[in-house]
Amino acid sequence: IQLTQSPSSLSASVGDRVTITCRASQGISSYLAWYQQKPGKAPKLLIYAASTLQSGVSSRFSGSGSGTDFTLTISSLQPEDFATYYCQQLNNFPRTFGGGTKVGIQ
Amino acid sequence: EVRLVESGGGLIQPGGSLRLSCAASGFNVSSNYMNWVRQAPGKGLDWVSVIFSGGTTLYADSVKGRFTISRDNSKNTLYLQMNSLRAEDTAVYYCAREKAIISGVVPFWGQGTLVTVSS
C-alpha cells in the first residue's frame, strides 16, 4: 500500500492552521497513525486509529479520515510544532509510510 | 511503564554482521507484533521486519535473506541479526511495538540505534 503525503513541505507562521493530507493507494479503514519527528529524535506518535489523540499530545493536533483519505490538522501552529510529519498505515504488511511533510517557519 | 531500549549499533565494514537488541519493559514482546523500522540519514521511514505473537516473521524485500528477526521471551528482548551488510543499510534502526485495540493499532517506538556501514 502506497501512502502519498502532501505537501512535501510548507512554510507557515505561528498561529496558522496547518493541514497535511495522506492518501492510501487502497482502503485501509482507520488503520493510520501520524507522527512528528524533530532532527536527531525518534518519531513521536501524535494520532492513532486515524483520529485518536495519543495521551499527552496537545489537543491542537487532530486527525480525520477513513478508507483512503486522511488529514492531520494543527489548529494553531506553535513554535515547537516546526518539524517533519509522517503518516503510517497499519492495515497491511509491509507497513508503509508517507514521504513526510516538513513544516518550516515562514 | 512501557519502554523499548535499542542497542548494538555501531560502525561496521561492508559485508560484515551486526546484531541489534531491543530490551522491552512494561509488556511482553511475545504477546505483541514487534517490528524493526529504519531511517537512512536525511531520508524517510522504512519498515524492515516484523515478528508476530505466534512467531511468524516477515521481511522487506531489501533485507530478505540477509536479516533475521527473533525474540527471547525469557529476556523480553527483540533482536535483529544483520548479515552481509551494505552501505545502503546505514540508518537509525528503531524497534516498534504494535498493540491491537478494538478501534485499531497503537504503535510505540524506541529511541533507535545507529548503524553505519562503511569501510
Provide mean pLDDT across the span A68-92: 97
Q: Which residue of A has its CA nearest to B45?
A: A97
The predicted structure's pLDDT at residue B103: 86
The residue among B17, B27, B7, B5 whose CA lies nearest residue B83 is B17
The residue among B56, B49, B52 whose CA lies nearest residue B33 is B52
Q: What is the pLDDT of residues A38-76, one digit of tens each?
A: 999 999 999 999 999 999 999 999 999 999 999 999 999
The predicted structure's pLDDT at residue B86: 98
Q: Which residue of B has its CA nearest to A30?
A: B104
Residues of B with CB below 8 A from A30's CB? 103-104
| B104·A48 Cβ contact <8 A | yes
- Picking from B94, B98, B112, the nearest residue to A90 by CB comes out as B98
